[in-house]
Amino acid sequence: MYSRRVGLLGGTFDPPHIGHLVAAIHVQTSLELDEVRLVVANHPWQKEGSREITEAEQRLAMATAAAEACEVEAIVASDIELRIGGPSYMVNTLERLQVDEPHTSFLTIVGADAANDLDTWHKTDRLKESAEFVVVNRPGYSAPDIEGWAHQTVEIPAIDLSSSDIRKMVFEQKPISFLTPPQVMQHIEAQGLYRLG
């Protein structure tokens, strides 16, 4: 018998932005979850070699700042994948959480873009058996065909924004006000992130 229901919104969060927070808040309220955790990837293996990734501790600090900026107690940042170490695989994260918190039901939140790629995730057979997904819409992506995966959908306001957009704007010295919380902007500025492209 589960006493709590928790959503896991995994990501690189390099940096976190309002799209992440809108998804977290809408899923939490729509499904009446006890909590939604922004799960910061320690080593995002799917992005390996595509670009330089900001160190995990910096990304966790920004995700923590973003969660606090929500002023919604149910939205928090999680360092579980940093504590596990190595490449971040959702199947490993879920298995660790299910051991640590056996009375909690976990739902994995993904955008429609990521949902289309579930078959490329690590150990998909085990993931299919143990995971329930919540799919949120993303501008430019149709509803995914993920037959065989336990899932439900939640409609959220369409915000066409990505972390790469913000990194590019910082590099080009363009304002990012209202695209990410002020606390995240302050961290980016203080640490000099994304200035080198």
Domains and CATH numbers, the chain: 4-158 (3.40.50.620)
User: How large is the average pLDDT for residues 103-111?
Assistant: 97
pLDDT for the residue numbered 196: 87
What confidence category does residue 197 fall into, taking pLDDT thresholds of 50, 70 and 90?
A: low
pTM of the model: 0.95
Q: Say yes or no to pLDDT of 15 above 70.
A: yes
64, with CB counted inside 10 A (0-12, 13-18, 19+), is buried
Strands 151-154 and 132-136: parallel
pLDDT for the residue numbered 154: 97
User: How large is the average pLDDT for residues 4-31?
Assistant: 98
Tens digit of pLDDT for each residue in 43-81? 998 777 778 999 999 999 999 999 999 999 999 999 999
